Amino acid sequence: MTRTLHITIGTRPDRSGLEDTLAAIDEGEDVESNPSRLSIESLATFGRIFRPTNLKLLEAIVEHEPDSIRELARIVDRHPPEVTENVHELADYGLLELEDEGRAKRPTVWYDEFEFSGDVPLRGLDTGSDTPIAP
């Protein structure tokens, strides 16, 4: 069974369904009966959260199941403080969980795939830049 995280770009963040899904996982319940949705507030935030370095971290977590953030940093060949910052950002958005393993935090991912949906209007688009695009 494939576990899917449904992601949209919305006007304000909505992680309510995601919190329910994470609670269900903690209780050992079937998460597919409670689909999870994450609404990212802007295109700029979406681009920051899903930049290649973060996607590489998520992929490494799924493939290698590291016991700590330090081990994850070693796997992706990056400095632990940078990886820690990225991991905490991903955890803040519910894209991964940090489980206490003694003094270490073990990053885990509960889903198998993303599904992106929704409309991105071209008017009033929040790109995170105040610089106008030249014609």
Query: By CB neighbour count within 10 A (0-12 exposed, 13-18 middle, 19+ buried), where does 122 fall?
Result: exposed
Q: Which domain holds residue 37?
A: 4-117
Our count of domains for the chain comes to 1
| Residues 127/52/75/106 CA torsion (nearest 10 deg) | 40
Does residue 123 belong to any structural domain of this protein? no
Average pLDDT of the segment spanning 59-73:
96
> Mind listing the pLDDT tens digit for each residue in 46-63?
899 999 999 999 999 999
Q: Are 60 and 72 in contact (CB under 8 A)?
A: yes
Does residue 131 belong to any structural domain of this protein? no
Q: Strand runs (DSSP E) across 27-83, as ranges? A: 36-40
Average pLDDT of the segment spanning 29-42:
68
Q: What is the DSSP letter of 133?
A: P
